[in-house]
Amino acid sequence: MAQRRKQNLIDREFKQSLRLFLKSPLKLGNQRPSRAIGITLLLGVLFLPSPVVATAGKVPGKIAQLSQNTPSDSRSAAADRAFEEGLKLFQEKTPQSLSQAIQKWKQALQLYQAIGDRAKQADTLSGIGSVYGILGDKQNSLDAYNQALSLYQAVGDKVAVADTLNSIGLTNADLGKFKPALESYNQALTLYGEAKDAGGEAYTLNNLGVVYDALSEYQQALDAYNRALPLWREAGEKGVQATTLNNIGVIYDALGQSQPALDAYTQALAIYREVNDKSGIPLTLNNIGLVYANSGKYDLALDYYNQALPLWQEVGNRRRQATTLNNIGFVYANTEQLPKALESYNQALPLWREAGDRRGEASTLNNIGFVYASSSDHTQALNYYNQALPLRRALSDRPKEALTLYRLAQSQRQLGNLNQAKTEIEAAIEIIEDLRTKVDSQDLRTSFFASKQDYYEFYIDLLMQLHKTNPDQGYDAAALQVSERARARSLLEILTQAGAEIRQGVDPQLLERESSLQQQLATLEERRVQMLAGQHKKEQTGAINTQISTLLAEYRQVQSEIRAKSPRYAALTQPQPLTLSEIQTQVLDENTVLLEYSLGADRSYLWAVTPTSINSYELPGREEIEDAARNFRDAVTVPSMRIRRQKTVESAAALSQIILAPVADQLADKRLLIVSDGALQYIPFAALPVNKNAGASQASELVPLVVKHELVNLPSASTIGVLRREIAGRTAASKALAVLADPVFAKNDERVKNVSSIEPVKGEKPAEEFEFNLKRLPFTKEEAEEILALVPASQKTKAFGFAASRDIATSPELSEYRMVHFATHGILNSMKPELSGLVLSMVDKQGKPQDGFLRLSEIFNLNLPAELVVLSACETGLGQQIRGEGLVGLTRGFMYAGAARVVVSLWSVDDAATSDLMVNFYQGMLKKGLAPAAALRAAQIEMWQQQEWEAPFYWAGFTVQGEWK
């Protein structure tokens, strides 16, 4: 058997010619309301070195022998000659030659049947099945494969049986019969494993991934592809390695992760060009084009599509031409060139129908509907959408079914059919909610959900429109619940998991692999630190960044497997967002008002909720609000602007007039729980003026919101419900306060002995190019000493200078303290959030580099059941902004680790001002007995009242997130 596979791999030309692509274009593009939809090509590779390729590896040699040693049985020689003639016709690759090949092989089959050679009958039937498949005759293809299967089983050829099962699976998948396809693939996978056939396993895993993707089982698809990829690399199979890379790109694109998708496609394209794969090259060009189109980079998208289209025409693949024409139409539709879009779609539609490709047909029908909707012909749009919907349901294409339902809802609304629109969008969101739970990876689940936020935005807007006409029907409360459903879902889930000990009962080898990857990541990051601290070349940092990216991908994969295989995780129910009545009874009290914002393209909304009431307000669209928010933040934080006090006053008044004035009479002196959205997450509500002074023109008239209101920031109201459940009944830690402050960042620090050289101090850099040459924060030690002086000696611990290390931060000792204070730099990596973190001592007493970076991924693994974690550092409250999740920063990690509340900052804070504010904050808690939110408010007011620190830059950036009681 092993020799047989080796021969298969020798005949490259024959294998390439028999490679089949899954004909249905399975991946569709971005589903923004203003966009049509594109198609990504997903490959399904049939390992044909199926039996016929095995024959191709052996028959020519045998034919040569026959010419020298004529067998006594002339029928056997005639059969072999007929087979060889069919093979030559097959290799011509024209429709006519393929049809002639079938006839030659049918002649050979009759002769092999006459002499009773079952193995050669099976080989020939497999070849016939392959060619029928290429010609689009799927039923005859299946019939031939099934006959071959019975014969291979009869002769006991396990690998040939597996190869044929693979072919049957691919043909069924092409017909949209995914359940029998999965059954065939799984049988094949078992047989390949028994035969120790790694190549066969890899092909089957790839094909399994294609089907799982078609069924929207994205996590299982990605798992299958990632299992296949190392098998290809090990075997040196470059062409099919590119296929699997392409499919990985498709999954990432479907989940809204554009950069990983582009990375995978770029690798695939390079390989296809290296091996001169004339189908793989345009396929990947098409897919790269779609990523750019979904990102709004239409010129780039059109460039890639126009590269792909003539290459498809050159190879004569009409189905792929339809795919690229569809995607060109997508670009024209989104650049408002509607006649050109309709022309492209109408060229694509007959090609799909001619090929019997219902998936592609449905996509183009949906897109034509979108063009008519964009032209305000919603009746015609409904006609096309209603043609697409049953096709997508028949194919079990649930993400695209949701898309068509969403489009139907939009057109129904435009026609004034609001209740029908509500029915359609509810059905779409039900599908999205179900699909989301099938992704184990938290990152992928988050990005998938982010890509569907337009559905929720539309639903909220529709409900609020219904509320206008029916104010007593509870539509405003329903809209608020949709807002809760749309935000911070992953945070709700990780907080629920936090107390579940999901690693219990998981395979120890998997946990060991996780631990090993964590160690490898730490080692690589330490090497990067050392490299960036000295002389280095860009190529060196690029290489190590690539290694880190690869390990991170594997680490995420392992975490997904842990969740998937954890008995405790499987037992967790999905935490549901709270309803209005639950928010009123479980979250709020008589002294607290919830202000929840939802930004939309045309209109935004604000809900003000108390324990006994709900009021809703329509606000301007996202662009107007976010422009005002950015102006205010810049006025507060940009040095050249913040010295112009009048600019701060004017921008604060302008933003306050938009987002606070409508609700001002509801606020009284209540505590405000603020659930913000979009750019509002970056602004300090504490510094906004109260309504009566919103129009103030002088700095002296600016009275900040914090003067009358205690403020708490939340990613969603439901977060508090989950957080309270997790900390309920928890025994308080035995000691009061642990402080880590004033770490040593570089060997040129005066505290380092025997300094051998001095490195330049380059300051902070974000993300990938961050260099760990950070300035010392001289006031943090003074700040820490003053804070610690408020606590008895037996109730505190301090770690200053070299002692403020990663080791102490990750030690079990910190779990003994109710409050944990970090006074150091915080670093954000928006490209790879796991590599965000806190910088502790980066060198030892001799000046030798050490790993002092406490990464977000490590924070998640801490056991830190603290009542309060304070990050007295730079921009610790920010992070990667993800639609539907908000800012994914350090706060999330510490809450998962057990913190009930976290104090963080929205910008890089002045060291001296922070020191003063923090001392006042702790005095409020430890001397006056104030809760953290109340203590922060008192400290901020005190700073505002001092002329030196009056400007919001010095005090308004700090916020309390989490439990306020």
Q: Could you write out the three-class secondary structure of 363-420?
A: HHHHHHHHHHHHCCCHHHHHHHHHHHHHHHHHCCCHHHHHHHHHHHHHHHHHCCCHHH
Distance (Å, rounded) from C-alpha 286 to C-alpha 327?
Answer: 8
Output the CA–CA distances (angstroms, integers) from residue 526 to 56, 522, 533, 851, in the order listed: 53, 6, 11, 5
CATH no. for residue 752?
A: 3.40.50
Q: pLDDT class for 694, splitting at 50, 70, 90?
A: very low
Q: Which of 97, 92, 170, 84 is nearest to 123 (CA)?
A: 84
State whether 797 and 877 are in the same domain. yes
Asked whether the predicted pLDDT for residue 763 surpasses 60, the reply is no
Distance (Å, rounded) from C-alpha 359 to C-alpha 398?
Answer: 12
Rounded to 10 deg, the angle between the 538-565 and 218-235 helix axes is: 130
Instruction: Report whether 194 contacts 161 (CB < 8 A).
Output: no
Rounded to 10 deg, the angle between the 218-235 and 198-214 helix axes is: 160
Instruction: Report whether 172 contacts 181 (CB < 8 A).
Output: yes
Asked whether the predicted pLDDT for residue 188 surpasses 80, the reply is yes
State whether 666 and 734 are in the same domain. no
Scored b (16 or more CB within 10 A) or e, 273-294 reads eebebebbbbbbbbbbbbbbbb
SS3 533: helix
Rounded to an integer, what is the distance from CA 356 to the centroid of its chain?
Answer: 33
Distance (Å, rounded) from C-alpha 204 to C-alpha 482?
Answer: 41
State whether 636 and 688 are in the same domain. yes
State whether 706 and 811 are in the same domain. no
* Residue 688 CB partners (closer than 8 Å, separation 6+): 632, 652, 655, 656, 659, 660, 704, 705
Task: Give the pLDDT of residue 555.
Answer: 74
Q: Report strand pairing: 868-871 vs 604-610.
A: unpaired
Compute the Cα dihedral for 62, 68, 73, 76 and give only its sign: positive
Q: What is the mean pLDDT of residues 662-680?
A: 92
Lowest pLDDT segment from 511-525, 534-548, 571-585: 534-548
- 826-840 tens-digit pLDDT: 876 655 556 678 889
Asked whether the predicted pLDDT for residue 615 surpasses 90, the reply is yes
Asked whether the predicted pLDDT for residue 400 surpasses 70, the reply is yes
**What is the CB neighbour count within 10 angstroms for residue 923?**
18
Task: Give the pLDDT of residue 45.
Answer: 35
Of the chain, the end-to-end C-alpha distance in Å amounts to 70
SS3 958: strand
Q: Average pLDDT over the chain, rounded to whole? A: 80
Scored b (16 or more CB within 10 A) or e, 98-111 reads bebbbebbebbbeb
In a domain, 471, yes or no: no
Rounded to 10 deg, the angle between the 489-498 and 890-897 helix axes is: 30
Tally of structural domains, the chain: 3
- 44-75 tens-digit pLDDT: 333 222 222 222 222 333 323 333 334 436 78
Asked whether the predicted pLDDT for residue 495 surpasses 80, the reply is no
In a domain, 457, yes or no: no
Task: Give the pLDDT of residue 691.
Answer: 57
Q: How many residues would you count in the chain?
A: 965
Q: pLDDT class for 135, splitting at 50, 70, 90?
A: confident
Q: Residue 334 burial by CB count (10 A; 0-12/13-18/19+): exposed, middle or buried?
A: buried
In a domain, 346, yes or no: no
State whether 548 and 631 are in the same domain. no
In a domain, 686, yes or no: yes
Q: Which tokens go with 58?
A: 């052996």
State whether 892 and 748 are in the same domain. yes
Q: Is 21 left (phi over 0), alpha (psi -120 to 50) or beta?
A: beta
Q: Which long-range contacts (CB under 8 A, 24 or more apart) does 93-98 make?
A: 93/17, 95/135, 98/131, 98/134, 98/135
Q: pTM for the full model?
A: 0.66
The 3-state secondary structure of 431-487, one letter per residue: HHHHHHCCCCCHHHHHHHHHCCHHHHHHHHHHHHHHHHHCCCCCHHHHHHHHHHHCC
In a domain, 754, yes or no: yes
Q: Which tokens go with 436?
A: 């989301």
Q: Which tokens go with 412?
A: 């129904």
Which domain range does residue 766 map to?
A: 730-962
- 196-231 tens-digit pLDDT: 888 888 989 999 998 888 777 777 888 899 999 888
| Apex 408 CA angle, 403 and 413, nearest 5 | 130
| Apex 794 CA angle, 793 and 800, nearest 5 | 55
Compute the Cα dihedral for 480, 483, 489, 492 and give only its sign: negative
Q: pLDDT class for 616, splitting at 50, 70, 90?
A: very high
In a domain, 867, yes or no: yes
776 versus 698: which is more confidently predicted?
A: 776
In a domain, 262, yes or no: no
| Apex 720 CA angle, 715 and 721, nearest 5 | 130
Asked whether the predicted pLDDT for residue 286 surpasses 90, the reply is yes
Q: Write the DSSP string, 696-736.
A: --SGGG--BGGGT--EEE-S-HHHHHHHHHHHTTPPPPSEE
Q: What is the mean pLDDT of residues 696-721?
A: 80
* Residue 219 CB partners (closer than 8 Å, separation 6+): 438, 439, 440, 441, 444, 560, 564
Output the CA–CA distances (angstroms, integers) from residue 41 to 259, 271, 283, 342, 879, in the order listed: 17, 17, 6, 21, 33
Distance (Å, rounded) from C-alpha 908 to C-alpha 874?
Answer: 4
Q: Which of 7-11, 92-96, 797-801 has the highest mean pLDDT?
A: 797-801
State whether 758 and 879 are in the same domain. yes
Residues forming beta bridges with residue 823, ordered by sequence position: 741
State whether 783 and 915 are in the same domain. yes
Q: pLDDT class for 291, splitting at 50, 70, 90?
A: very high
Task: Give the pLDDT of residue 783.
Answer: 87
- 860-904 tens-digit pLDDT: 778 899 999 998 866 554 444 434 333 346 787 888 788 999 998
Q: Which value, to the nearest 10 degrees, does the dihedral of the CA atoms of residues 121, 123, 128, 129 take?
A: 110
Q: Report strand pairing: 735-741 vs 817-823.
A: parallel
Distance (Å, rounded) from C-alpha 163 to C-alpha 275?
Answer: 24
Q: pLDDT class for 773, splitting at 50, 70, 90?
A: low
* Residue 325 CB partners (closer than 8 Å, separation 6+): 309, 344, 345, 347, 348, 351
Distance (Å, rounded) from C-alpha 770 to C-alpha 91?
Answer: 55
Task: Give the pLDDT of residue 849.
Answer: 85
In a domain, 755, yes or no: yes
Residues forming beta bridges with residue 838, ordered by sequence position: 826, 854
Task: Give the pLDDT of residue 739.
Answer: 96
Output the CA–CA distances (angstroms, integers) from residue 441 to 436, 556, 830, 897, in the order listed: 10, 7, 18, 19
State whether 510 and 653 are in the same domain. no
Q: What percent of the chain has pLDDT over 70?
A: 79
Q: Which of 289, 303, 253, 284 is nearest to 30 (CA)?
A: 253
Distance (Å, rounded) from C-alpha 134 to C-alpha 623?
Answer: 51
Distance (Å, rounded) from C-alpha 346 to C-alpha 326?
Answer: 9
Amino acid symbol at 4: R
| Apex 641 CA angle, 637 and 647, nearest 5 | 105
Q: What is the mean pLDDT of residues 79-91?
A: 88
Asked whether the predicted pLDDT for residue 554 surpasses 70, the reply is yes
State whether 954 and 827 are in the same domain. yes
902 versus 503: which is more confidently predicted?
A: 902
Q: Write phi, then psi, for 391 (nearest 5 degrees).
A: -65, -45
Residue ending a domain, among 644, 678, 713, is 713
Q: pLDDT class for 528, splitting at 50, 70, 90?
A: low
Q: Which of 235, 281, 172 is nearest to 6 (CA)?
A: 235
Asked whether the predicted pLDDT for residue 853 surpasses 80, the reply is yes
Distance (Å, rounded) from C-alpha 637 to C-alpha 906?
Answer: 10
Task: Give the pLDDT of residue 447.
Answer: 55
Task: Give the pLDDT of residue 922.
Answer: 96
Q: pLDDT class for 415, splitting at 50, 70, 90?
A: very high
Task: Give the pLDDT of residue 535.
Answer: 59
Instruction: Report whether 645 contacts 699 (CB < 8 A).
Output: yes
Q: pLDDT class for 449, splitting at 50, 70, 90?
A: low
Q: What is the mean pLDDT of residues 711-728?
A: 85
Q: Residue 253 burial by CB count (10 A; 0-12/13-18/19+): exposed, middle or buried?
A: buried
- 453-477 tens-digit pLDDT: 889 999 999 999 999 999 999 999 9
Task: Give the pLDDT of residue 835.
Answer: 66
Rounded to 10 deg, the angle between the 51-68 and 74-92 helix axes is: 130
State whether 697 and 738 are in the same domain. no
Task: Give the pLDDT of residue 568.
Answer: 44
Q: pLDDT class for 530, splitting at 50, 70, 90?
A: low
State whether 672 and 742 are in the same domain. no
Q: Which tokens go with 73?
A: 């049985």
Q: Which tokens go with 941?
A: 């007011």
Task: Give the pLDDT of residue 451.
Answer: 67
